[in-house]
């Protein structure tokens, strides 16, 4: 289904870094994203890959969110079965729902929280990736308002400026 490329894990680390910063930025700036995550009842959720050290924990506070890479035990765990599925999700090629349908992830925790996290990730992907790229995968999010996309361009500029340091 997916060939393992040597540089895929390195590229995925970059994607995860962008994902982490995007998540924090969106939580502060986008009310719809914040509303979606307010439906998550757990204090923390993690996204990891089986047989890999790539892992992020998202800790949801009342006023903010922060991300770390520790081995903290979370209420909800989303575990990708292999690197290929994670790569496709974080590069915007397929949605988290499609990976679940292909039995490419393992969910540990409440399904209601997993659904809210899935919606939040789809919202994030819709703002990060251009409409032409994600049109087939995220039909309900194509046509995202131009001002939302422009707001995210500010984030890209901020991210690029901080990468060099």
Residue 100 to residues 56, 60, 62, 94, 123, Cα–Cα distance (Å): 19, 23, 29, 11, 17
pLDDT at 74 over 80: yes
Structural domains present in the chain:
8-160 (3.30.1050.10)
d(CA 71, CA 112): 23
Phi–psi pair at 37, nearest 5 degrees: -70, -20
Integer-rounded Cα Rg, in Å, for the chain is: 15
Top-confidence residue, 25 or 1: 25
Top-confidence residue, 35 or 136: 35
pTM (two decimals): 0.75
pLDDT tens figures, 98-119: 888 889 999 999 988 998 888 8
Average pLDDT over the chain, rounded to whole?
78
pLDDT tens figures, 106-165: 999 998 899 888 888 888 877 777 654 455 444 444 445 555 655 656 665 655 556 444
């Amino acid at each position: 289904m997916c060939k393992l490329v040597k540089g895929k894990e390195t590229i995925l680390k970059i994607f995860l870094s962008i994902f982490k910063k995007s998540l924090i930025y969106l939580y502060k700036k986008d009310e719809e994203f914040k509303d979606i995550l307010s439906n998550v009842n757990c204090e923390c959720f993690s996204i990891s890959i089986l047989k890999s050290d790539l892992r992020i924990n998202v800790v949801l506070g009342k006023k903010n969110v922060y991300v770390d890479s520790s081995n903290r035990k979370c209420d909800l765990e989303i575990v990708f079965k292999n690197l290929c599925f994670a790569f496709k999700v974080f590069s915007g090629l397929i949605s988290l729902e499609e990976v679940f349908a292909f039995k490419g992830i393992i969910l540990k925790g409440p399904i209601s929280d997993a659904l809210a996290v899935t919606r939040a990730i789809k919202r994030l992907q819709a703002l990060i990736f251009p409409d032409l790229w994600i049109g087939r995968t995220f039909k309900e999010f194509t046509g995202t308002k131009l001002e939302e996309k422009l707001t995210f361009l500010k984030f890209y500029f901020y991210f690029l400026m901080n990468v060099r340091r």
